[in-house]
Structure 1
């Protein structure tokens, strides 16, 4: 089964909001064996919507649409769906009762006719009740193509997809088995790795595709295959993974089904029954934020301090002012003390600390822009490492985050 994802809204096209819906939907569709052929973001214009619908109908078995279902006049998705399917709107009493309940229980404000209009749905549509909002989802099938329209509010869309749409796609779809294995590497760039594995890559079976996914400080190698024979796919991909390990084992730092380093770290912490805390300066709490985005992180993450200013390192983490004066706030010695102190403070098994100068000015230290020290505290040792991360502020921060997580991952693997 092949899918097209369409997100509707001028706010996406002018950069006012980031389209996270499409990425989430694509991941969930991939998990059940639906191949996403195309993702489109289009304007709130009738002609643009009709054109996108016509194109999607020609190329996909299922078309997933989000956005444009609100109560205001600029939300025109329902009307345009009616035009596309030569249909008309009718009042759905179940949806109306749900809207009335939401206003009574949660909104605590009078309903206006515009809110009641949320209960108007195309006659040909099968309603997908939206537990968390007033705009229902709609399922319409014409010829061989299924159109599913959902609200653009992420938590409403995700609920509808999880509870209503995905189970139904599994029932009606002729789904392939889709399999990915992602190898995480560090220490060498994309071109160097590509040179080392060139012969292996050239001899990959036709049903296996390799993708290079470079990030700051890491390169992910994803092998993908899809088809009807699950056993054959699993066996052949596993064979190629083993061959890949034999070629570049020195730069492989692990695998991740979620295709992110932080997922891998959290999973390792869970598997090893260990905990971690963070003390962040130049990374500004971003490591902690990434960790806590992962479901179940509360099992392994104890807490964090963002000691951005020099004095806060002294006041909150009890870093020795003499050490700061002697070695600078951006130094291996301070990174080591930060890691040791935050591990002690939160009673965690491991700790990560970052201190550096991300630029564009030098701040409280004379260290050149791009200088970063990362401290790692484990049950057996505490150490700090020095890195030069370049002169672009955002890249310095992101590379520091990746390197800190990579170092933690290495310690967990060796545990």
Structure 2
């Protein structure tokens, strides 16, 4: 069973906003065995919308559309869908009552005609009631394709997808099972990892596919199995994971999509009743941001000192002026003092420190652009490693963040 996702809005096409709706819808469909065949972003143009709907008609079983359902004149999706379905717009009493209540009780103002028009829907459509907004979703069928129109506002789209769209699709269609399992690795590049597991990959059964999903310092290995028997798929995927694990045990972090390195670190620190802090220069607080993105981080994360300027390293982090003068602000000696002093000031078991030259110019440092020193203070001592992450600037910062987390992970793993 195939689906297409269509986002409507010039603001997406000119890069003014990033389309996150398609990703959420795709994941939701995938979980119930619906394969997304195509994703499209199109303009707020009636002819463009009509041509897209016509092209997808009978090519896929489901078309999910987001955007263009608001109260303003440029929101034309509803009228265009009505034209495509050769239908007329009618006012839905339940939606109108809901919109009236929101406007008059929540916004404390009289309802206008523009607001009332939100309750207009194609007469032959099935209304998907939007409890969290004013624009209803719409379910329309033409020949062999279901067209589902949702608001573009993300939280409204998510509400309707979870509470209206998915339950209806599950009821209407018989779908194959899709099983995904993701393994997260660190510290080994995609090509080297592929060489290491080549024999295992070559012997995967035909109904199990492997995808490499690389990012700076990390590679996700995603196994996908499709078939009619869910238990058979689960058992087959688990068996393949058990065969694979010994081959990547030195770089394997977790076995779940949510098992990011920062999540795993949080679990380890919590289980050992240990704490951590950061002292960041070139990474600008990004390590701290990742650590605190995990729910419950307050149990183990004490804080961060972002000593971006040289004088802050001296006055706040208490890095010796003599050390900075003798060795340069980007050096092993400065990184070590940063880590040890952060550990002391914030009274933690572990501390990560970064100082480097992300570029594009050298700034206060003598080190080459791309050079980063990462120091890790532990209950047993401190160590520092030097890296050159090349260019561009964003790559240097991202790789430094991931490497810092990787180094502290290895240290915590020893206990």
**1:9-53 deviation digits (Å, cap 9, x = unpaired):** 111111111111111222232233332222111111122212222
Cα deviation for residue 228 of structure 1 reads 2.1
| 1:80 alignment partner in structure 2 | 80
Q: 1:95 to 1:62 in 2, by over 3 A?
A: same
Cα deviation for residue 113 of structure 1 reads 2.0
* Residues 1:71 and 2:65 are matched in the alignment: no
Cα deviation for residue 89 of structure 1 reads 1.1
* Residues 1:367 and 2:354 are matched in the alignment: no
**1:171-227 deviation digits (Å, cap 9, x = unpaired):** 333233322222233343322332333332222110011112222222222211122
Residue correspondences, number: 415
Q: 1:140 to 1:352 in 2, by over 3 A?
A: farther
**1:99-122 deviation digits (Å, cap 9, x = unpaired):** 223223443455432222111111
- CA distance in 2 between counterparts of 1:169 and 1:104 reads 34
- CA distance in 2 between counterparts of 1:128 and 1:272 reads 48
Give the stretch that moved more between structures: 316-325 or 361-370. 316-325
| 1:32 alignment partner in structure 2 | 32
State the SS of the aligned residue for 1:222. strand
| 2:218 alignment partner in structure 1 | 218
- CA distance in 1 between counterparts of 2:349 and 2:166 reads 40
| 1:334 alignment partner in structure 2 | 334
Give the stretch that moved more between structures: 20-29 or 180-189. 180-189
| 1:289 alignment partner in structure 2 | 289
- CA distance in 1 between counterparts of 2:368 and 2:51 reads 54
Is the contact between residue 255 and residue 264 of structure 1 (CA under 8 Å) also seen in structure 2?
no
* Residues 1:151 and 2:151 are matched in the alignment: yes
- CA distance in 1 between counterparts of 2:105 and 2:274 reads 43
Is the contact between residue 92 and residue 120 of structure 2 (CA under 8 Å) also seen in structure 1?
yes
State the SS of the aligned residue for 1:164. helix
Is the contact between residue 177 and residue 228 of structure 2 (CA under 8 Å) also seen in structure 1?
yes
Q: 1:380 to 1:24 in 2, by over 3 A?
A: farther
Cα deviation for residue 266 of structure 1 reads 4.5
Cα deviation for residue 292 of structure 1 reads 4.1
Is the contact between residue 256 and residue 263 of structure 1 (CA under 8 Å) also seen in structure 2?
no
What are the residue-to-residue correspondences of 1:64-213 with 2, within 5 Å?
A: 64-213=64-213
Is the contact between residue 253 and residue 410 of structure 1 (CA under 8 Å) also seen in structure 2?
no
Give the stretch that moved more between structures: 128-137 or 296-305. 296-305
- CA distance in 2 between counterparts of 1:251 and 1:312 reads 36
State the SS of the aligned residue for 2:90. strand
- CA distance in 2 between counterparts of 1:122 and 1:293 reads 43
* Residues 1:357 and 2:357 are matched in the alignment: yes
- CA distance in 2 between counterparts of 1:36 and 1:43 reads 21
Q: 1:74 to 1:352 in 2, by over 3 A?
A: same
Cα deviation for residue 412 of structure 1 reads 4.3
State the SS of the aligned residue for 2:316. helix
Is the contact between residue 362 and residue 369 of structure 2 (CA under 8 Å) also seen in structure 1?
yes
Q: 1:159 to 1:296 in 2, by over 3 A?
A: farther
State the SS of the aligned residue for 1:69. coil
Is the contact between residue 187 and residue 406 of structure 2 (CA under 8 Å) also seen in structure 1?
no
- CA distance in 2 between counterparts of 1:273 and 1:170 reads 44
What TM-score does the superposition give when structure 1 sets the normalisation length?
A: 0.89
State the SS of the aligned residue for 2:140. strand
Cα deviation for residue 370 of structure 1 reads 0.5
- CA distance in 2 between counterparts of 1:174 and 1:266 reads 40
Q: 1:133 to 1:306 in 2, by over 3 A?
A: farther
- Structure 2 runs not aligned, ≥5 long: none
Cα deviation for residue 149 of structure 1 reads 1.3
| 2:243 alignment partner in structure 1 | 243
What TM-score does the superposition give when structure 2 sets the normalisation length?
A: 0.89
Q: 1:10 to 1:212 in 2, by over 3 A?
A: same
Is the contact between residue 276 and residue 351 of structure 2 (CA under 8 Å) also seen in structure 1?
yes
> What RMSD, in angstroms, separates the aligned Cα atoms of the two structures?
2.7
Is the contact between residue 256 and residue 264 of structure 1 (CA under 8 Å) also seen in structure 2?
no
Give the stretch that moved more between structures: 353-362 or 378-387. 378-387
- CA distance in 2 between counterparts of 1:64 and 1:267 reads 38
Q: 1:296 to 1:77 in 2, by over 3 A?
A: farther
Q: 1:33 to 1:266 in 2, by over 3 A?
A: farther
- Structure 1 runs not aligned, ≥5 long: none
Q: 1:119 to 1:291 in 2, by over 3 A?
A: farther
